[in-house]
Amino acid sequence: MPRPALQPPWHPERIPPVSVISVAYNSAPIIGSMLQSVPAGVECIVVDNASQDVETLRQTCRAHEARLIENARNVGFGAACNLGAASARGELLLFLNPDARLAPGALEQLMLAAERHPGACAMNPRIAEPDGSPFFMRKSYLMPRARWMPRGWPSEDRAVTVLSGAAMLVRASAFRSVGGFDEQLFLYHEDDDLSIRLERQCGPLMFIRDAVVEHGGGASSGDPAAISAFKAWHMGRSRVYGGRKHGRRFAATRAVTHALLQMISPALLWSRRKRAKQVAYLAGCLSGIRLVNKT
């Protein structure tokens, strides 16, 4: 099936080109739908983090005319995004999850919004869950509670305090001026951290109501206990490192205390997955403390 063409109204002579960048990790079964939703002629870059299904991914990228960058190991989401951005030609960069899908006209609306809001350095479309409910990044552990936003999508385009990396449009010049994603954040809080730095150094962040992206909620495969432990370790490490980086008081103390309290939960006696998760979370917090002490 051919990819859709860019739709009017838009002004190709005035709107800068865009590159779509996606990070794959065992994503071959779902990424084809995302690539199919990208209009023809738009540069697509897929960065693979040492997937086990890379041969299938190669075939899918060729079928959709997407450029594939292959990593020999899993370098993390942010580092993979940085690799994609380094080779992108667009003046606008759309970081798009492999389980997301652009609704018809979504990319055009984002490009028009970049023209309409020249002072904004980055923006989120209206991201919808598979059931149509809002997927809206309204808060972050890395910022004060006073900056949290109300639940649900705003009723119109407006400035926001944080963006989701599931579908984030960033001006390439702004992205490069802040150094891209912090590669110490392997998983979790990498989009929060980038949002805070972009807003502080480059200008407002925007929510664009008329641009719609469907968020697929891709599933993980493999041993549930091992997957939970992997994610929990990185959550603990990112929570401590990111919290300290952005001046959250007692970031390490709070994270370790929370981990220790969870360790004495009776639920851990009956669930191998929960035990693995909590042990890994505590280990990740301690790793975050060591990382902070090095930097």
List Cα–Cα distances, 75 to 49, 53, 134, 170, 269, in angstroms.
6, 17, 30, 21, 34
The answer to whether 96 touches 37, Cβ cutoff 8 Å, is no
Distance CA(22)–CA(93), nearest Å, equals 10
Q: What share of the chain is helix, strand, coil (3-state, %, to 5)?
A: 40, 20, 40
Burial of 126 (0-12, 13-18, 19+ CB in 10 A): buried
Nearest of 185, 186, 189 to residue 140 by alpha carbon: 189
Burial of 15 (0-12, 13-18, 19+ CB in 10 A): middle
Nearest of 40, 51, 118, 45 to residue 85 by alpha carbon: 45
Tokens of 197: 């730095």
List Cα–Cα distances, 129 to 99, 134, 135, 212, 218, in angstroms.
11, 6, 6, 11, 11
The answer to whether 189 touches 255, Cβ cutoff 8 Å, is no
- Please give, one letter per residue, the 3-state secondary structure of 23-35: EECCCHHHHHHHH
Distance CA(142)–CA(97), nearest Å, equals 22
Residue 220: the pLDDT is: 45
Distance CA(58)–CA(41), nearest Å, equals 19
Distance CA(157)–CA(139), nearest Å, equals 18
Q: Which residues of 187-217 are buried (b: 16+ CB within 10 A; e: fewer)?
A: bbbbbbbbbbbbbeebbbbbbbbbbbbbbbe
DSSP string for 227-254? HHHHHHHHHHHHHHHHHHHTT-TTHHHH
Tokens of 234: 């990185």
What one-letter code names the amino acid at 113?
Answer: A
| pLDDT tens series, the chain, 295 aa | 678 877 665 555 555 689 999 999 999 999 999 999 999 989 999 999 999 999 999 999 999 999 999 999 999 999 999 999 999 999 999 999 999 999 999 999 999 999 999 999 999 999 999 999 999 999 999 999 999 999 999 999 999 999 999 999 999 999 999 999 999 999 999 999 999 999 999 999 999 999 999 998 655 445 677 888 999 999 999 999 999 999 999 999 999 998 888 878 777 667 877 888 889 999 999 999 999 998 7
Q: Which residue has the tokens 């492999």?
A: 98
